[in-house]
Amino acid sequence: MTTKGEPDMTQKTTADNPSARDDIDRSRRDLLKNMALAGLAAVSLPAAAGSAPERPPRPPGAAQPLKNPRTRFPNNQPAQQQAWPGLQRDMTPKPDCGETSYRGAGRLAGRRALITGGDSGIGRAAAIAYAREGADVAINYLPQEEPDAAEVIDLIRREGRKAAAIPGDLRTEEFCRSLVARAERELDGLDILVNNAGYGWFLPDILDHPGEKFDRTIKTNLYAPFWLSKAAIAVMKPGSAIVFSNSVTAFLPSEAFLDYSATKAALVAFTCALAKQVAKRGIRVNGVAPGAIWTPMQVYFEAPANNVENLNAITPLGRMGQPVEMAPLYVALAEGTSSFVTGSTWSANGGRV
């Protein structure tokens, strides 16, 4: 500060003294440099003791050991036969549907799902996974499959989720409409439909193919998904999802599964076409195409005694799949983070395609 009548020595010093100006400029540069370095350190250096970490630590047990997919599950199932439609509880060994192995992470919290064929096999694995991911689940099944269905309903409820058991035959439009309406009512809405129920029979000669079995295959595998999807889409909101259980036979049709292969190929096309049609509604439609999976279908359709052995042999991984191995795909296709995935069919066949 200067008094009146006195010269301003500060102005004179900085204006007339180059050395002083250089010192000030150097100090400013050093200050900016130190501030920049401090900011970089704050980003790159570990958090100081006592401060909050930048991200939560990995939970205990998150790291899992590598497992050889060839030996993860058995490939020595003994030959066995059951009367149609077969029960999972009577199979040896029982299929692994994730009853003790699937771990959820809340990926479907608050969702409401209807799964056909949810008593056993892939449908059962999807039901267990959905419940452990936080969804309420309704399952449909045939009355003869009640023992298996009761186990699934109990597993869903143990997760603290709503469970609805809705038995009935899918081969009429009236029942399919009532199934969707009841599932929506009991779950307080419907966000996910899994068209999983299917029917097939081992008939290698068309001359031996009875019309009743052909009719049942077409109505179960094609008519029912059409009716169910139609009823579900009418009540679904944007963000909902439909998942079809397609099959490897859509791409590698088997002469012994003439009508079954045809229906599954049709479902792949239906998946794509329906996805395009309902995209404007904000509803996604996808499918999963499993290969040979250890389910009751493998023991009821009167295949030769060595059929399971043959399926193990022709699969590059050297074994049939287990239902629990399909569950993550059904979860991924139903959850919201897969929002750009629609009209696709994901293969899971042990390397056969």
Note whether 276 and 65 are within 8 A (CB).
no
b/e for 152-186, b at 16 or more Cβ within 10 A? Answer: bbebbeebebebbbbebebbebebbbebbebbbeb
Over the Cα atoms of the chain, what is R_g? 31
241: phi then psi, degrees, rounded to nearest 5: -145, 145
Angle, CA 228 vertex, CA 353 and CA 132 arms, to 5°: 70
102 is catalytic: no
Can you tell me the distance from the alpha carbon of 134 to that of 137, in angstroms, rounded to the nearest whole number?
9
Structure tokens at 99: 């009853």
Query: Of 141, 199, 260, 330, which residue is the catalytic one?
Result: 260
180 and 233 Cβ atoms separated by less than 8 Å = no
* Range 186-189, long-range pairs (CB < 8 A, 24+ positions): 186/138, 186/162, 187/112, 187/113, 187/114, 187/136, 187/137, 187/138, 187/162, 188/112, 188/136, 188/162, 189/112, 189/235, 189/237
Residues designated as active site: 260
